[in-house]
A and B are shown apart, each in its own frame.
Chain A
Amino acid sequence: MTFIDKDPANAIDLIKDGFEKAGYICDRHIATSIYLSQKLDKPILVEGPPGVGKTELAKAASEILAAPLIRLQCYEGLDESKALYEWKYGKQLLYTQILKEKLGDLLEDAVGIEQSMDKLHQFGDSFYSERFLEPRPLLQALKSEVKTVLLIDEIDKSDHEFEAYLLEILSDYQISVPEIGTIKAKTKPLVFLTSNNTREMSDALKRRCLHLYIPFPDASLERRIIQTRVPELEENLRNQLVSFVQQLRTQDLKKLPAVSETIDWARTLLLLHADKLEVDLVRNTLNMLLKFEEDIDNMHSEVPKFISVAQKEVR
């Protein structure tokens, strides 16, 4: 992508087109944040309800930039040995076992402990060198020769301590490993952090990131998303389906259907060879959209109303 040198408005349109080609329909907000993150070298913290395509955004970005995607899935208890680096203890042990015999040869002509020590010191801390360092996702992204897209998924599931580990990477693109020193990024990766807002991120983390909030899409955007994702679906049905889902989102539900659910539903309808929304059909497939028994029960009676509105709107 050669959008970097263009003037902002053009560059943002270019990014939008690029994403569209990769099958990700985005609005100006999203394109702007990609542009900004490239220009300001800042990670993007993506927030929004589940299923609006936060993770997809990172995947699409990696496709467009032709940069490999390195993904770190966060969970409670994730620590630096899983995310940053780990020493290859097994290898270290094995090597000491093998080298035991060599040690005799090395110290052959040394007299006394003092000299042996000096001799040993000449070899440096070879057991704590990069050869014994197991890079985990974050370190991989920094050590990569080519530009990468680093996706730190569901950061809100991780612990507070882990957030603190991240700060150094996010602001300076470097990691400090006590035994070796500081490892700086060869090429700065494009970093996405996604969060479902199950807990508030610390201010320090937020300060280092651009903040992008992806809400549920409006009807026209959602229609275009379905068009790209499920192109086989006939236009009339697509419009009805989007209108139906949009109406559902106005209801008081435990979990609102997101874009991913709309796509799944579109695929289901396609499989069932439906050509328009019908009450029974919708009722039977409602479990694609709603994930709580209670929600499904509550919406059962509303289905005919929604369908008639959807059909009217489309006409």
Chain B
Amino acid sequence: MDRALADFVEMLRYSDVPVSISESVDAAETVRLFGYQDRGLLKTALAQVMAKTIEEQETFERCFDEFFSYQINPDLAPEETLDEEGEETDENTDTSPEMTPANDDENSPNPASGGGEGGGGFSGEQSESGSAAPLLDMLERNDRTELTMAMTAAASAANLRNIVLMTQRGLFTRRIMEGMGLDEVNREISKRNKDGDAEGADRLSGRLELLFDAVRDMVERQLALTSSGKAKQFRQDILKNVRLSNVEHRDFKYMRQLVQRMAKRLTDMNSRVKKVKNRGHLDIRKTMRRNVAYDGILFETHWKQKHKDRPKVLAVCDVSGSVASVARFLLLFLYSLNEVLPKVRSFAFSGDLGEITGEFDRLGPEEAIPFAIEKYGGRSTDYGRSLEDFKELCLDEIDNRTTVIFLGDGRSNGADPRIDILKEIKLRAKRVIWLNPERKSIWGSGDSEMLRIAPYCSTAETCNSLNKLELILRDLLKSS
């Protein structure tokens, strides 16, 4: 597989098109068949090999256009290689026009490596022969070919491929220049200045400046290539672990997508084990009837099929203050799971408690959550009253298949938390899960009633990031 394709595969992976190894092997085969000449054809063909859903198809098309508008043709069309190199050599012609042909010679017979260069990828063969001569000599001789090679070598040594953020541009440029031997050149320049060789110093620093520009260009190209995908990945990784109460408003959109993707994964995992066939109790009547044709010998067995019970979930959320932001995501998560958790009922409280299931059905989670926070939030939390309301509303419906999830910090402002009701719920329900956004070490401090609450829950856990939330819900689905 050539470098250009490998880069493209990497770009796709960062853009949420999961290209597996076997698929990239197929892609390489496709490229071998079609070549790079006919872009339209190649796009159609590669799309079928690499993108396997309609959404992926769209992303693929966007990536393909983006990538190959950058990429010079790795197969042939050296004229494009010239264009790309041309910009850099133009600057160079001022100082040494005689070097330009040599530069072209280096690039044209070696078109395969050109693929990487155009898009900011760096071919391995260049980096090997890279730092043969010290930077000073190269600048002195102004050997473009050697400089380019040294530049790519230094770039791969500095892991330029890992560049993610705009703000890293300066850092990487610096690193590459230092890798090439910037210090030495700087020393030489100041030495020449001291020695009175002003002309020599100017020439050297002029060339160094040009090199700086070239490196900066290269870094920016690489950034443009990987950033869109990588930066997103980066942000998502961070968002997964950030405390939910600290999520910025502008990140809500990404969080929603994240939650939905996590929920989808959970759904996929759990919808797979739907039926238990060929196991359990033998259905004698059916088996006998089926096997009459075989003289009553039991060839075909029939089993009493067991359908998996979907868990009934009651989610009770404190929507006051800091807990509200966690509640938002818990509810979003639960409702995104509606394929495997069709029976979710949700309640919100701070002072009084009310059911908000209807709002969710009507408005969808996006609007229902702010609505609930508006309607029930803002009052001082009273766990005792809320539990009384909850008991009145739906204690009768709690049975041994019901999981009750409480979300709250357990700070009842001094009011009696009515542990007795919680005990009653625990006795009836299959499980009571208490999620608390606070760390365990401060449970019980101040007006926190968590230490009294925890014994009456099957699980009481700290839950303040998406990752934690996912783990808890995974357990919930697994043991259902």
Chain A residues close to B by CB (< 8 Å) = 8-9, 12, 28-29, 32-33, 36, 39-40, 42, 44-45, 47, 89-90, 93, 159-161, 200, 203, 206-213
Contact = CB atoms under 8 A, between A and B. Distances in A.
Given A32-B41, A89-B299, A210-B48, A40 B20 contact: no
Contacts of B57: 211, 213
Contacts of A161: 277
B52 interface: yes
Chain A interface SS verdict (over half): helix
Contacts of B49: 36, 40, 210-211
Given A36-B30, A160-B272, A90 B293 contact: yes
B294 A89 contact: yes
Contact of A40 (B26, B41, B277, B294): B26
A42 B294 contact: no
A28 B41 contact: yes
Contacts of A33: 48
A206 B22 CA distance: 11
Chain A to chain B: the 5 pairs with minimum beta-carbon distance, closest first: A206-B52, A211-B52, A210-B48, A89-B299, A32-B44
Chain B interface SS verdict (over half): helix
Contacts of B442: none
A137 B299 CA distance: 22
Q: Which interface class (under 10, 10 to 19, 20 to 34, 35 or more) fits B?
A: 20 to 34
Interface of B: 18, 20, 22-23, 26, 29-30, 33-34, 38, 40-41, 44-45, 47-49, 51-54, 57, 268, 271-272, 274-275, 277, 293-295, 297, 299
17 contacts: A28-B41, A32-B44, A32-B48, A36-B30, A36-B48, A39-B33, A40-B29, A44-B48, A90-B293, A159-B275, A160-B271, A161-B277, A200-B53, A200-B268, A203-B20, A209-B52, A213-B57
A160 B23 CA distance: 22
Nearest to B38: A9
Nearest to B52: A206
B29 A207 contact: no
A207 B20 contact: yes
B109 to A, nearest CB: 25
Given A210-B48, A212-B48, A213-B57, A12 B294 contact: no
Contacts of B295: 93
Contacts of A209: 52
Nearest to B267: A200
A163 to B, nearest CB: 10
A207 B22 contact: yes
B291 to A, nearest CB: 9
Nearest to A197: B54
Nearest to A28: B44
Nearest to B29: A40
Nearest to B272: A160
B23 A207 contact: yes
A76 B70 CA distance: 48
Nearest to B40: A28
Given A159-B275, A200-B53, A209-B52, 14 more contacts: A8-B38, A8-B45, A9-B41, A29-B44, A32-B41, A36-B45, A39-B33, A40-B49, A45-B52, A93-B294, A93-B297, A203-B20, A207-B20, A207-B22
A36 B23 CA distance: 13
